[in-house]
Amino acid sequence: MSRARRQILGAFFGAIVLFLFYLHYHAKNDQFLLSRPASSPQSEAQQDKNQASNGVSPKQSVWRDLPLRYPVTDMQKVPVKSRNFPRIQTADQESPYLRTEVQRKRQSAVKESFQRCWRSYRSLAWGADGLTPISGLPTNDRGGWGARLLDSLDTLWIMEMYEEFEEAVTAIMEINFDVTSSPEVNTHDLNIRLLGGLLAAYDLSDDPRLMVKCVELGDMLYAAFDTPNRMPIIHWNLHKASRREEQLAEENVLAAELGSFSLEFTRLSQITGDPKYFDAAQRVMDSFDLRQRSTKLPGLWPEYMNAREQLFEGDEYTLGAAGNSFYKTLPQAYALTGGQMPINRRMYESLTLATAGHNLFRPMNPNEEDMLLLGTVRVFMTQNGKSRTHLQSQVHYQSCFAGGLFALGGALFNIPAHKRIAHKLVDGCIWAHKTMSHGIMPKVFDAVPCASQVHCPWNEWHWKQEAWKKANSLKPELASDFNIDTFIKDHHLPKGFIDIPDTVSELRPELIESIFVLYRITGREDLLDEAWRIFQSFNNASATNYGNAAIVDVTFEGGNPILSDSVDTFWMSETLRYFYLMFGPCDLVSLDDFVFNAAGHPLRRP
Ligand SMILES: *[C@@H]1O[C@H](CO)[C@@H](O)[C@H](O)[C@H]1NC(C)=O
């Protein structure tokens, strides 16, 4: 090692030691206690006001008492009146098939799966953010406040596990958002999972204790909006924020993450009577609305944006891959605000128009089924300065939410064409499950788009040719004895697939969410059997001693797939919740009474 390098390293470690001292100096009782600013007279007045209006008494908190650098002067109010909506759920709920013993048995199998996971969490990782499903160790990657508790609370209520619910609420009341074990958080994730979970549990149970926690967490997240343009920070450092350091919105951030605060913040304003949360989220919506028609693919927002300058300049347009949460917010936000915010409807309509025109494609498949899948569109400039679009027929599991989006929008805004699209989108993702040997769709695959959505005959030669082209594009120098049939067999490509770039299954919720929404809206009964098949495929392949684990390769041979020692919190709190609701009676969390946030938490429509 050179001398200069050693000096640099020495300085680096010195800086770390100084930083640790600094943290230590700032800590009071706990090593990670966040700094508390001197409380301002304004916040005390606010505290009194809240006490008066809710009958709850928020204790002193870092976040509640944090003075704003960029206060808001013209606050938007939450709409109070609601227009009459058409009934969304199908009137035909008395069908005998729905009431049979079969559905009840399916529902209890789902509950059994959830209970197994919950018991492990309770005994091995109580109060942690999660549990590794193979080694049985607690994990803390979401602030360390017990994300699993908050995220599962409404499921416990919905599954009628009331004792466990009570025990979880008691633990949640002990959570202190002024203390953290991991100060780098993702505010989008905390909002949809933790705040969404608390709000849903409050809406279902009417337990006033939960309202106190909603406000505490809401006030913390509100501090992330204290930037010059009031756009929130997604990758957020709690220490810096609590010390009231200058905050700027990020220059490169997922648009969907920035855009999906509106349901939780609207609901929080509705239940507290304090408009500040709604106002904060609505500013982001307004910014998205203003620029929706001037992106490179008008109607859609690019995957990444510059929040600091409020610029949407990217070239990649998809509803699928990195963040679908914003798009599904739009019809839900319209319903939650009682139809009083036309902006949500307008954005939904432009969005779906652009999607239907550019992103949807019909996959060529052996049974010539009329289905749709959702791909990514890339916009590029030709040499003469015109912009062109290119559809990439690569399908991400997350894009399976789109069936639910079109179903719900079609029902709320009475657009029959959207319901037809919804059926085909759901069928497309069901096909992608069924055509795999173990019935589990991989995280990412490539399909062959038909030239026409009307006429799409199966052509085996064409499929193989596309697979060959794909293989060649990934590895330009194919061996001279390259044989496409061997290649297809070795890569376990089912007919119609030309590549599986990511063979993982994270046990994701997007498809069952869409199946559930479409089923509740149309009453299509075959969806019950499809859902059951998917649940069994997931559960059979992924069960471990301590719950369920993500599957590393869904193209596995034989009975035992390789599992990863991790599973996302959405398996318990979204995937299993939607399966449970699917097999339950239609008035169990009805779409006419609730909207589902991006993490599947049901919030009550006023
Ligand atoms: C899952 O396992 C159950 C019980 O062993 C079996 O009856 C069922 O057919 C399996 N289903 C799937 C889709 O693998």
Distance 151 CA to ligand 1 centre (A): 28
Q: Give the confidence band of 154 by pLDDT, cuts at 50, 70, 90.
A: very high
Distance CA 570, CA 552 (A): 17
Q: Is the CB of 542 under 6 A from ligand 1?
A: no
Quote helix, strand, coil % in the chain, to nearest 5: 50, 10, 40
Pick from 567, 456, 440: nearest CA to 120 = 567
Q: Give the confidence band of 31 by pLDDT, cuts at 50, 70, 90.
A: very low
One-letter-per-residue 3-state SS of 91-142: CCCCCHHHHCHHHHHHHHHHHHHHHHHHHHHHHHCCCCCEECCCCCCEECCC
Q: Is the CB of 533 under 6 A from ligand 1?
A: yes
Mean pLDDT estimate for the chain: 88
Mean pLDDT, residues 356-367 taken together? 96
Q: Is the CB of 486 under 6 A from ligand 1?
A: no
Cα dihedral 401, 407, 408, 414 sign: positive
Contacts of 340 (CB under 8 A, 6+ apart): 79, 81, 82, 83
Distance CA 12, CA 7 (A): 8
Nearest CA to ligand 1 atom 9: 536
Whether residue 7 lies inside any domain: the answer is no
Q: Is the CB of 453 under 6 A from ligand 1?
A: no
Distance 105 CA to ligand 1 centre (A): 14
Mean pLDDT, residues 86-107 taken together? 77
Give me the CATH number covering residue 600. 1.50.10.10
The pLDDT assigned to 7 comes to 65
Distance 536 CA to ligand 1 centre (A): 6
Instruction: For a ligand 1 pocket test, name from 434, 440, 536, 538 the mutation site with the most ligand atoms within 8 angstroms of its C-beta.
Output: 536
SS3 260: coil
Distance CA 127, CA 122 (A): 8
The pLDDT assigned to 521 comes to 95
The pLDDT assigned to 6 comes to 63
pLDDT beyond 70 at 21:
no
Mean pLDDT, residues 476-500 taken together? 90
Whether residue 419 lies inside any domain: the answer is yes
The pLDDT assigned to 547 comes to 96
**What is the domain count for the chain?**
1
Q: Is the CB of 437 under 6 A from ligand 1?
A: no
Each residue of 34-78: pLDDT tens digit? 665 444 444 444 444 444 344 344 456 788 888 999 999 899 999
Distance CA 51, CA 212 (A): 10
Atom of ligand 1 nearest to the CA of 439: 13
Mean pLDDT, residues 473-495 taken together? 88
Distance 539 CA to ligand 1 centre (A): 9
Nearest CA to ligand 1 atom 2: 540
Mean pLDDT, residues 513-520 taken together? 97
Q: Is the CB of 537 under 6 A from ligand 1?
A: yes
**Looking at 18-32, 93-107, 412-426, which range is the least confident one?**
18-32
Mean pLDDT, residues 441-454 taken together? 94
Strand partners, 311: 306
Each residue of 195-206: pLDDT tens digit? 999 999 999 999
Going edge to edge, which strands form the sheet with 394-396?
394-396, 444-447, 497-502
Nearest CA to ligand 1 atom 10: 536
Contacts of 230 (CB under 8 A, 6+ apart): 70, 72, 280, 283
Nearest CA to ligand 1 atom 11: 536
Q: Is the CB of 536 under 6 A from ligand 1?
A: yes
Whether residue 228 lies inside any domain: the answer is yes
Domain extent at residue 201 = 34-604
Q: Is the CB of 491 under 6 A from ligand 1?
A: no
Distance CA 475, CA 468 (A): 10
Each residue of 266-293: pLDDT tens digit? 999 999 999 999 999 999 999 999 999 9
The pLDDT assigned to 9 comes to 60
Q: Which of 2-11, 155-164, 478-487 has the highest mean pLDDT?
A: 155-164
Distance 554 CA to ligand 1 centre (A): 16
Q: Is the CB of 540 under 6 A from ligand 1?
A: yes
**Looking at 81-85, 171-175, 586-590, which range is the least confident one?**
81-85
The pLDDT assigned to 45 comes to 44
End-to-end CA distance of the chain: 66
Between CA 153 and CA 161, with CA 158 as vertex, the angle to 5 degrees is 70
Distance CA 142, CA 323 (A): 18
Atom of ligand 1 nearest to the CA of 438: 14
Q: Which helix (H) or strand (E) holds 542?
A: helix 526-542
The pLDDT assigned to 324 comes to 76
Report which of residues 32 and 358 the model is more confident about: 358
Atom of ligand 1 nearest to the CA of 539: 1
Whether residue 573 lies inside any domain: the answer is yes
Whether residue 15 lies inside any domain: the answer is no
Atom of ligand 1 nearest to the CA of 537: 13
SS3 198: helix
Look up tokens 């992924």; give the residue.
Answer: 542
SS3 373: strand
Structure tokens at 315: 């070239």
DSSP symbol at 555: T
Distance 540 CA to ligand 1 centre (A): 6
